[in-house]
Structure 1
Amino acid sequence: MITIKPISFSKLKEKLSLPKPWDTIIIFLLNILITVPAFLIAHQNLIELNWVYNLDRIILFILILGIIQLILQLLKTIIILCIFIYILTLIYGTLFGNYGFQRVYEDYRYMIYAMSENPKPQDLIISKLLPFPNKSKIIDAVDFTNPKVRNFALYATTKHFKEIKKSNNRTLIQCFAVFKEIKNNWNYVNDPKGREYIAYASESLQHFSGDCDDHAILMAASIKAIGGTPRIIHTGGHMYPEMLIGNKNDLETAIYLIKEVLFKKESKNQQIHYHIDERGQTWLNLDYTANYPGGPFMKEEILGELTFN
């Protein structure tokens, strides 16, 4: 009969610990790996104090780093078990959840880039605006359910940026693909003299031609057709489309994608232009005069807005 001797707790800790100086090295590396996602979560959920040089975030990172270092030092006798649990958690998140190795890496890149850019909004849209001109006609013209509009938007997403790993930014990247396709083909043509002609989005697809309101309608319909949320801004003598990006963290992601991945050449040394509404949501400029999403505003005066939720 075979008998199994129970392993004492002290012997178990000895087996799960590492010899010096490897324990110190492994603890430091593990601390960095844990601190990055922990800091990202804190960064995304805590209010920024907007201190100079992002000192509030630097202090937050150091604080988290110190706390985790202290915890790992207390657990250093079972450090191998800690490493195993950490890797297992990320593997599970990669295979079945929303937060794994790729998400940690992407979020870290977006955060570092956005903190270095420190973007500022150009304007704050207030809720009390003037009535939107030709509102009912424009709503009808944004015929995003028309098969021609839907098929065009799908075509744009297969032509541009298909090779980019989309992860959780699929809709954002695909909307940027729509912007690129319309921008590359749009031909500005005035309305008939003395008459305001409002073309349906499906109509503008025939020649990719029209004035600013026709462009805004086509852009809004195409973005809406693939799951984005567009709106049209009225400035008095001009109309242009904007796209809902989301909160500050979503803006950080959008800025990184525009300036470092998708429109790197067009946006080099350029500023990203956007509005923040009364609910704190960010809207990116998609005017036909812009060479990249978030290009300069043609006119900053805002008299009305029409949102397509």
Structure 2
Amino acid sequence: MTHHYLRNNLVNFVVRFIQIIIVFPMAVLLSFYIEPYQSMNYELHFLLCLMAAAAVSVLVTKYSRKLIVLMFVGLLGMFAFNSTFKAQTFEGVYDDYNAMLVNMTSNPHKVSYFKPVRGTYFQNQRVKSAMQATHPKVRDFAVENSTRYFHDEYYRKFGKMTRYFSLFKHIRMNWRYVNDPLGMDYYSPPTESMQLLAGDCDDYAILMASSVMAIGGEARVVISPNHMYTEVKLGHVDDLDKVSYAVRTLFPDEVAGGKIHFHETGEDLWINFDYTADYPGGPFLEPEMYSVISFER
């Protein structure tokens, strides 16, 4: 009798535990497949997905405890084996859950609860979705402005980095900072940003990365505590002197004796292309890196 009672209690505990922990990953999957309605902001969209996931969990558990266990096993299988969700790892779900808890428990400035702290799954997916490196109009924009500055003798001397530097000069020189709509974290697609040449740091980073990639370059987006910017791969660490010489040659007034700022990943050399820098490789606005968003070649 006692053994049967303990067994039932254990089963009930396990089912309730699964019912609770299944909610967040289910909400992640729902937000992945269900697009926000019209101009609905991202945080409200995820909150609705979270509420829907909680309701489904309660209803399924009420209908059949075995079914909720099967759903849990199914979700584990999706995250572990289905290549459709290759950007949705267990670590990413944990980081997003942790980010939500951090924002809810230590949030003196009332930042949106569901805005990731360390650029995890949500922000990564939004940046990747906004990228348009293969869009014909972005390609045209990139080709036109990669040849706008620095005539061909510099291209013969410094190679393809000359084209990236021309893009940097055009976009940065003409960029005007404009805030997002009130209460909304808006990511402008490059086809929009290239016409306006205006927006905030994430709009600039996405346009710059898309443009560099549109002409065959390798770019990535870096998220720091309060900022987002682009870095461009310009060879290996051994090429630093060559890159430094090119920058000082093409941006002599802007450099004015300043240092070349970069990050080293493996043996690769990633140069700062942020609009807050006067030249490629200028000082970082925020040295601390929270997350690096890379893109498939």
State the TM bucket, normalised to the shorter chain.
0.5 to 0.7
CA contact (8 A) 2:150 2:250 kept: yes
Question: 1:161 is aligned with what amino acid?
Answer: F
Aligned-pair distance for 1:130? Answer: 6.1
- Is residue 177 from structure 1 mapped to residue 163 from structure 2 by the alignment? no
CA contact (8 A) 2:237 2:269 kept: yes
Normalising by structure 2, report the TM-score. 0.58
> What stretches of structure 2 of length at least 5 have no aligned partner?
1-117
Range that drifts further, 292-301 or 165-174: 165-174
What is the CA–CA distance in structure 1 between the aligned matches of 2:172 and 2:155, rounded to whole Å?
A: 22
Task: Name the SS for the 2:181 alignment partner.
Answer: coil
Task: Name the SS for the 1:266 alignment partner.
Answer: helix
Aligned-pair distance for 1:167? Answer: 3.1
* Equivalent residues in 2 for 1:1-309, closer than 5 Å: 131=120, 133-167=122-156, 169-259=158-248, 261-277=249-265, 279-308=266-295, 309=297
CA contact (8 A) 1:171 1:227 kept: no
What is the CA–CA distance in structure 1 between the aligned matches of 2:176 and 2:121, rounded to whole Å?
A: 25
Q: CA RMSD in A?
A: 1.6
CA contact (8 A) 1:171 1:226 kept: no
Question: 2:258 is aligned with what amino acid?
Answer: Q
- Runs of 4+ aligned structure 1 residues displaced above 3 Å come to none
- 1:106-131 Cα deviation digits (max 9, x unpaired): xxxxxxxxxxxxxxxxxxxxxxx862
What is the CA–CA distance in structure 2 between the aligned matches of 1:202 and 1:229, rounded to whole Å?
A: 19
What is the CA–CA distance in structure 2 between the aligned matches of 1:188 and 1:307, rounded to whole Å?
A: 25
Number of equivalences: 179
What is the CA–CA distance in structure 2 between the aligned matches of 1:180 and 1:230, rounded to whole Å?
A: 16
Aligned-pair distance for 1:268? Answer: 1.2
Aligned-pair distance for 1:133? Answer: 4.3
What is the CA–CA distance in structure 2 between the aligned matches of 1:254 and 1:236, rounded to whole Å?
A: 28
Question: 1:224 is aligned with what amino acid?
Answer: M
Question: 2:274 is aligned with what amino acid?
Answer: D
Question: 2:294 is aligned with what amino acid?
Answer: T
What is the CA–CA distance in structure 2 between the aligned matches of 1:241 and 1:143, rounded to whole Å?
A: 15
Aligned-pair distance for 1:281? Answer: 1.3
Aligned-pair distance for 1:168? Answer: 6.9
What is the CA–CA distance in structure 2 between the aligned matches of 1:256 and 1:216, rounded to whole Å?
A: 25
CA contact (8 A) 1:243 1:283 kept: yes
Report what 1:120 is aligned to: none
Residues 138/144 of structure 1: CA separation in 2 closer, same or farther (3 Å cut): same
- 1:183-220 Cα deviation digits (max 9, x unpaired): 11101111111110011111101210110000000000
The percent of aligned pairs where both chains have the same amino acid is 39
CA contact (8 A) 2:208 2:230 kept: yes
Report what 1:18 is aligned to: none
What is the CA–CA distance in structure 2 between the aligned matches of 1:132 and 1:245, rounded to whole Å?
A: 27
Aligned-pair distance for 1:164? Answer: 2.8
> What stretches of structure 1 of length at least 5 have no aligned partner?
1-128
